Structure 1
Amino acid sequence: MSVSPSSPSVTAASDATNTPGRSRIVLASFIGTAIEFYDFYVYATAAALVIGPVFFPHGSAMAQALSAFVTFGIAFVARPIGSFLFGHFGDRIGRKSTLVASLLVMGLSTTLIGFLPGYDAIGSLAPILLCILRFGQGIGLGGEWGGAALLATENAPAGRRGWFGMFPQLGPSVGFLASNGLFFTLALTLSDAQFRSWGWRVPFISSAVLVALGLYVRLKIAETPAFRTAIERAERVRVPLVSLIAHHSRATLAGACAMVVCYTLFYISTVFTLSYGVSTLHIPRQTFLGMLCFAVLFMALATPLAAWASDRFGRRPVLMAGIVAAIASGFAMAPLVGSGSPVLVTVFLTLELFLMGVTFAPMGALLPELFPTAVRYTGAGVAYNLGGILGASVAPYIAQMLATRGGLGWVGGYVSVAATVSLIAVLAMRETRDVRLS
């Protein structure tokens, strides 16, 4: 069925891509992922610094760290479930309302963690409730990213989908800076006893204010033109997940494997290396947090550069260049991090997070481009979050075990192997830069 120039879908597309409309769309896609990832990274930082002693006080420091990393991984198991759930409604009833719901679930879970008593207060109930709320964080984030990416890309003008898809990808950098920046400030202003007693709760409780801001922005946006067109053409499917498995399983698996390198680079750098640097290298907590804040600026810098390049040269060439560099970077971990020098450790963190930005930015356009409108929310979200299980959920845990048994060289090898998995997936994909989304 063709669409005439006067059809509502064309009018909607025109309205959505005028300058004021673009500004609202860009802000809504960016601010949501920034808040959601702030929430997610707050837990990641807390897991590396304080979750073990507060919720798993019995046993050695190593046992506490491993227990904290297990709770960290729970959210990655929940994220695909969130993408199934929110993806279904996003493909059935619309992107806007689903994005609002995912933000609420994430924000409520994060805020409640800030009020959760520790093991000393309520015993074994504390880690149980922590796991439930961490699962809730995963459900919320599982529904967030796919909708934010679609909000940006389905409204993008021709030839600029990579650039528009960059804004939800920029959100994680800002969310991480806000999270780590707040922890850094607390580390400078509070004693260790104050931080472990109540200071670590402040970033979690602060999430409530950010979520209110995100909801205000998202309630003002309109539905995307591609989804409006799907409604007009009666293209929606009854159960998007069933259709995705039946007809798009190969694209889903390829997208998930392509995401592995992004997750591995990020969480090895920001969770495992933070824990290792503070506990094993004895770099002061506030110093290491400052090092991470510096390094993530290069991730933020790489994101728009890689997005622009993906529109100019294609998604696959940019990704392949970044992934090959990531494979090589694994060999730098032992000499740089193992040196114990804050300067050399910062060089490694900067390298890894820059490459994270290079490989992450094109995904904002690539994953939505792999799927038709009827299953796009579900497909992009599932691929993105399955990649999280493969590349992030167990990464800090495995890295901790490898470092204990074989040293940092083994951890660097793990990074290289994970990047190789993504390289194979990208080589098997078609170029999607010129695919039409509606």
Structure 2
Amino acid sequence: MASTTHYGPSSTSMEEDARRIHADKPVSPGSIAIGVVIGRMSEFFDFFVYGLASVLVFPQLVFPFAPDRLTATLYSFAIFSLAFLARPVGSVVFMTIDRVYGRGVKLTIALFLLGGSTASIAFLPGYNEIGAWSIALLALFRLGQGFALGGAWDGLASLLALNAPPNHRGWYAMVPQVGAPIGFALASVLFGFFIANLSSEDFLSWGWRYPFFVAFAINVVALFARLRLVMTPEFGSALEQHELEAAPIRDVLRVHGRDILLGAFVPLATFAMFHLVTIFPLGWVYLYGTQPIGGFMVVQIIGAAVGLVAIVVSGMIADLIGRRAQLAICAVLIAIFSFIGPLLMAAGSGGQSAFVIIGFGVLGLSFGQATGSISSRFGRGYRYTGAAFTSDLAWLVGAGFAPLVALTLSSRFGLPFVGYYLLSGALCTLAALAFSRALEQRD
């Protein structure tokens, strides 16, 4: 195990006073779990609201000059990717804020920036009103989302893992992941409601803006839920033991550079599939499908429910067979799905619905343990920063460009190439798991 360097308490005197006030009120793992789920749900809600709008709204609102709907959607997906480029930069900046001003200040700034960037999109004028400034503002707000999400890493998932019994680590690792399908389902419900009850003109004029307003309110609720846990004695104790310190990125890279690289590739199949069963199929059906888009969004909500159940099941399976075996099996399932999925997407409405529901099931089994695999190799004092930066890179490599790449490949070469793209992610995951195991045996 690498040596640990002390980088400071990551707490202000006000935070330490708050922990002393609540010293006689220990927080249970269940309370930590609720706070973690609320926090992750708010983050994924913000991103999925944008992701859905990148198919349903922005191609017409921001890129009406494009020669066709496909090109406009590709432009929209290109801006979608900007957040994942900004996220590692946000982590570096906010880690400095964490060390100087404390975890509570960092989270407050990050979540207000995340909610503010998302809410600002609600006021975005279209290209027909302000020209290219509409594109520039959308890109700026999307960069703001990604930059803020880099600072929203709170360490609560690690705190939950530190409280996990040895034989239930898989169960505790899946808890934060539950927020993803809930955030997606909530975003889909809001968009689906306005699509079903408004004319196309009213939806594109003002209806689509309401989910972005809701995002800010959800972020405020999530902020208080997370600050409450940051102020607990349990969190303070983890800081004092250097378990959740914000170490400088350069030091983490020096000590754990190899682990960061491996950690970015282990969940690659999972993160690649993440947007291929959420954003990409909506774009494909919107462009080429025959079923009403509102009806397909209902299918996606059902898929999210299946994914939620699968995430919970993943915790049980991981506790029985181990996290590495769980991820390896799921990578094989994703590889199999890479051949079956394109056939389903090409099979009409029924096949497209099956693609979403089956895809969410496979995704949930894998996603439930993906994040837990990232932090397992970091030493104390490096775990918090290392897990955050590794997660940023994993999302960038695996998911950031997935909708853009998948729609480009499928529109130019056919749906089977989407499967090949997904297959490459599964092979990378299997290779990274094998290499990680070999390194552990050698060490």
TM more than 0.5: yes
**After superposition, where does 1:2-401 map in structure 2 within 5 Å?**
20-59=27-66, 60-90=68-98, 95-145=103-153, 147-221=155-229, 222=231, 225=234, 228-229=237-238, 231=240, 240-340=248-348, 342-401=349-408
Aligned-pair identity in percent equals 31
CA distance in 2, matches of 1:356, 1:214: 25
Query: What letter matches 1:336 in structure 2?
Result: L
CA 1:417–1:122 in 2, change beyond 3 Å: closer, same or farther?
A: same
How far did residue 114 of structure 1 move? Answer: 0.9
Unpaired runs of at least 5, structure 1? 2-11, 434-438
CA 1:312–1:91 in 2, change beyond 3 Å: closer, same or farther?
A: farther
CA 1:321–1:93 in 2, change beyond 3 Å: closer, same or farther?
A: farther
Kindly provide the CA deviation profile for residues 396-431 of structure 1, in whole angstroms up to 9, marking residues without a partner as x: 111111112210011111111111111111222249
How far did residue 282 of structure 1 move? Answer: 2.8
How far did residue 284 of structure 1 move? Answer: 1.4
CA distance in 1, matches of 2:47, 2:413: 30
How far did residue 67 of structure 1 move? Answer: 0.7
CA distance in 2, matches of 1:362, 1:82: 24
How far did residue 108 of structure 1 move? Answer: 1.1
Unpaired runs of at least 5, structure 2? 4-18
- C-alpha RMSD of the superposition: 2.7
Alignment check: 8 A CA contact 1:99 1:148 kept: no
User: 3-state DSSP class of the match of 2:291?
Assistant: coil
How far did residue 160 of structure 1 move? Answer: 2.9
1:419 aligned onto 2:426: yes
User: 3-state DSSP class of the match of 1:283?
Assistant: coil
How far did residue 363 of structure 1 move? Answer: 2.7
> How many residues are treated as equivalent by the alignment?
419
How far did residue 228 of structure 1 move? Answer: 3.1
Which segment is superposed worse, 347-356 or 225-234?
225-234
Query: What letter matches 1:228 in structure 2?
Result: S
Aligned residue number for residue 9 of structure 1: none
How far did residue 101 of structure 1 move? Answer: 3.4
CA distance in 1, matches of 2:108, 2:372: 21
Which segment is superposed worse, 127-136 or 152-161?
152-161
How far did residue 20 of structure 1 move? Answer: 4.7
Kindly provide the CA deviation profile for residues 247-271 of structure 1, in whole angstroms up to 9, marking residues without a partner as x: 1011111111112212211211211
Alignment check: 8 A CA contact 2:107 2:223 kept: no
How far did residue 30 of structure 1 move? Answer: 0.8
Normalising by structure 1, we get a TM-score of: 0.88
CA 1:403–1:376 in 2, change beyond 3 Å: closer, same or farther?
A: same
How far did residue 97 of structure 1 move? Answer: 4.5
How far did residue 145 of structure 1 move? Answer: 4.5
CA distance in 2, matches of 1:164, 1:54: 42
CA 1:79–1:236 in 2, change beyond 3 Å: closer, same or farther?
A: closer
Kindly provide the CA deviation profile for residues 349-392 of structure 1, in whole angstroms up to 9, marking residues without a partner as x: 12221121111111332222221232222211111111112112
Alignment check: 8 A CA contact 1:166 1:307 kept: yes
Query: What letter matches 1:30 in structure 2?
Result: V
Query: What letter matches 1:103 in structure 2?
Result: L
Which segment is superposed worse, 397-406 or 87-96?
87-96
Alignment check: 8 A CA contact 1:259 1:384 kept: no
Alignment check: 8 A CA contact 1:154 1:225 kept: no
CA 1:352–1:93 in 2, change beyond 3 Å: closer, same or farther?
A: farther
